[in-house]
Amino acid sequence: MNQDQNSPLREDVRLLGEELGRVLREQAGEALFETVETVRQAAVESRSTGEMQIDHLRQLLDSLDDETLLEVARAFSQFLNLANIAEQRHRERLHRQHQRFSGDPDSDQSLRQVLAELKGAGIPQKEIYNTLQRLSVELVLTAHPTEVTRRTLIRKYDHIAHLLAALDRSDLTQTEIQELRRHLYEQILSAWNTDEIRRARPTPVDEAKWGFATIEQSLWQAVPQAMRTIDEELALAGLAPMPVDWVPLSLASWMGGDRDGNPNVTAAVTREVLLLSRWMAADLYLRDVENLLADLSMHRASTELLTHTGPSHEPYRLVLRRVRNRLRTTRAQLEARIKHRPQPGGEGFDNGRQLFEVLSMIDRSLRSVGLSAIADGQLRDTLRRLNCFGITLLRLDIRQESTRHGDALDAVTRYLGIGNYANWEEARKVEFLLCELDNRRPLVDEAFYHTDFCDESVREVLDTCKVIAEQGPEGLGAYVISMAKMPSDILAVMLLQKIANVHRPMRVVPLFETLDDLNNAAATMGTLLNIAQYKQRVLKGQEVMIGYSDSAKDAGFLAAAWAQFRAQEALSGIFRNHGIPLTLFHGRGGSISRGGSPTRTALLSQPPGSVAGRIRVTEQGEMIRFKYGRPSVAVYNLEQYVAATLEATLIPPAEPRQEWRGQMDRLTKVSVRSYREVVRDDPALVAYLRTVTPETELSRLALGSRPARRKPDGGVETLRAIPWVFAWTQIRLMLPAWLGTGAALEQALKHADETDLLRAMSRQWPFFQGVVDMLEMVLAKSDTRVACWYEERLTQEAALVRLGKTLRERLSRTVSALQQLTGHESLLDNNPVMRWSIRVRDPYTDPLHLLQAELMARLRNRESDPVLESALMVTIAGIAAGMRNTG
């Protein structure tokens, strides 16, 4: 990016910094402002010299009392959040200008560029059109606990972003500029006087409401705007217009449905979330209808519509008033169900088809009487919203761990006196499940629910299936089985739905997570497809979820990435041979080690033929806010998904060469061994994690409703993937993203032939190129000196000091190996925007790191201290903001 392009970002950062400084002076006093400035200048000087003057910084911070430490932490944390706003705003500015940064991994191709590329590749327009018609991109919003910023602050930050956008206008008068600056100051002042830390852990219902708010405040506007952008690009490319209601985008959610290891998500919670979701949908459609009532005042109408209304000077308004009344009734009935009150009478909308038919009739009428321009306005937006969001706003997935289903069926078989299901061999389980799936009689009677066999855990599984039965299919998505391993895991969920009398069962989606499970995924699904009864049930399509988090935690980033690639490749081949459409569901997170990467990079890194016009992907934690929190940003990211899915479908990457596969096999063999010799075999690893990183302190941060550990006292294997990544990110060691990979690259680069092969792979193979780019990005955020600060302050234990030294040496060697591979003298030589972003944050994150280590040390010597605990939570949130990443 050239200087002129970068200058507006620098100007925004300067402006926000000035306003924050003004707030600090007025609210906290000149002394605190001077303290913050002194610390900041010391950090800047330390970074500029290339050697951290750690002693000077420590002396400045050690002399501060607890209250001042808290205020200093808040000041640096606030600046980092403001810097993020400026950077996000700058990306909006560049997206609008349709400019791209050469080599910037956040730069994806626009739909216009993809359509031009397809034309250049000789893809017939009819094939492009047909592919677009059946294109399916489903984004699944999850409640994974990586969003550290409070919702109330997010709203203030959104307002600040809006004000920055307003200040971009070139026609502002001086008075208007002053007024906008005044509002900007007010918002920063308000943010400073707002508690940064969420004091109460959110419930699953709170998380669901947060998801609804994202739709209400952003995606409700963004989806039709994105579709208009897509329409314009298709027209420019000479493609025929798509159907009026065409929307290749849809949304689902795990908020209120993801019960894997979360005891707070119950059947009652899922029921409430489903009802709240429908209530919100009715409310939003009611607003749309009110707007349509104001606009559709014309009298010319089709015979079809007049048949419904009779003679009328305003027939559209007559129809819409009836729709409005039904929506009001729908909303009132849902509210009564949520509050457990008697439902009011009247006719509401039971399903989306009912509302769609009425609005489609209005659309046909307008077009038939020459008012297509009116139909293409707000009405078309509403029809598209209806196709995207349905009458239920979000389709809710259910997720549960596989052993919970086995336990429920074990209780049933023991109740029936036919043995212990848990002890049966896999073949016997499959035989039993298939037999019962085809059996017309009920497997258990009502009496089972009142026996000791049906304990609380079993009852919860069965009650969840009852909720599925009572809600119907329209508001439900996939039933995801985490830690799926065997064919019986999939068949078990199908039988449990039958036991609950689910007439239109949810599709059952196995989630293959660990390295072994990914390697065996194709064999498991192949066994099922060779069973005629099962194949008949999935003829219209099968969905399989690929896990990124747990596989990386199990075997390291590189081995997990290669296992994911091979699993998708094998699964695609099996389903293609059986003639059954396959949708791959990618369980990606925001961090590199959990599969996070730019959209185009992610999709073009998949095996050729595996996308095939259909993609389903999770959007997690803070990434929901970064990508969809503002309508203009959401429009860009939605268009990117459509463009990248189209590109990956019609111009898939070439098959990897056999020598590349062999090289990946060699690399992953070394990387798994190197990764596991630390994570599994080094007895100091768990102690180091809990002593040197804030892993134990993270449990104090009310991030989400789910516990951080599957078992409170377990080791690394019981720690969830998100806090595992979060803890290492906080101390800038970034271990999950590179451990093992560096050793593999280092060994391969000792040989000239392997070096040439690796460089060819990084140039010609999108999968490996994505691995290298992501590794370079995460290594640029790492800092061995920062990690050392924590260790020096928090431990003198010989085993931990030895391990810390080893890890930092491995990290340094990984950086050297990557530089040798890429030929870059410094990390991110090819990505100046990202390099500048990291550099501008360092003087603000450095003091937070030092403060965090000091606060951890002080708190570990005290039973409780509210001021220090608050300061520690602020440093965690601030560092997360500075790193633009948590878990």
Q: Which residues are catalytic?
A: 144, 553
Contact 272, 339 (CB under 8 A): no
Q: Cα 235 from chain centroid? A: 32
H/E element holding 584?
strand 582-587
Task: Answer positive or negative: Cα dihedral of 333, 339, 340, 341.
Answer: negative
C-alpha 272/C-alpha 278 separation (Å) is 10
C-alpha 76/C-alpha 191 separation (Å) is 13
Contact 95, 29 (CB under 8 A): no
C-alpha 13/C-alpha 841 separation (Å) is 11
C-alpha 511/C-alpha 401 separation (Å) is 9
Count CA atoms closer than 13 A to 658's CA, side-chain side.
0
C-alpha 763/C-alpha 10 separation (Å) is 33
Question: Residue 796: CB partners within 8 Å, gap ≥ 6?
Answer: none
Count CA atoms closer than 13 A to 884's CA, side-chain side.
22
Name which of 339, 292, 295, 282 is nearest 320 in CA terms.
292
C-alpha 493/C-alpha 408 separation (Å) is 10
C-alpha 233/C-alpha 229 separation (Å) is 6
C-alpha 667/C-alpha 644 separation (Å) is 29
**CA-derived radius of gyration, the chain:** 28
Count CA atoms closer than 13 A to 847's CA, side-chain side.
34
H/E element holding 511?
strand 507-512
Q: What is the DSSP letter of 303?
A: H
Contact 511, 549 (CB under 8 A): no
Task: Could you list the beta-strand ranges (E) of 309-463.
Answer: 395-401
- Give the Cα-Cα-Cα angle 797, 800, 806 (nearest 5 degrees): 140
Q: Phi and psi at residue 252, in whole multiples of 5°?
A: -135, 180
312: exposed, middle or buried (C-beta count within 10 Å: 0-12, 13-18, 19+)?
A: middle
Residue 340, SS3 per DSSP: coil
819: exposed, middle or buried (C-beta count within 10 Å: 0-12, 13-18, 19+)?
A: middle
CB count in 10 Å sphere of residue 650: 18
Q: In terms of residues, how long is the chain?
A: 887
Joined together, the tokens standing for residue 290 give 């009110």
Q: Compute, in degrees rounded to 10, the torsion defined by CA atoms 309, 314, 318, 320.
A: 120
Instruction: Please name the amino acid found at residue 211.
Output: G
C-alpha 747/C-alpha 239 separation (Å) is 51
Read out DSSP for 183-222? HHHHHHHHHHTS--S--SPPPHHHHHHHHHHHIIIIIHHH
Q: Cα 385 from chain centroid? A: 21
Q: Phi and psi at residue 632, in whole multiples of 5°?
A: -65, -40
Name which of 116, 117, 118, 112 is nearest 131 in CA terms.
118
Contact 720, 708 (CB under 8 A): yes
Name which of 680, 665, 691 is nearest 715 in CA terms.
680
495: exposed, middle or buried (C-beta count within 10 Å: 0-12, 13-18, 19+)?
A: buried
Contact 98, 631 (CB under 8 A): no
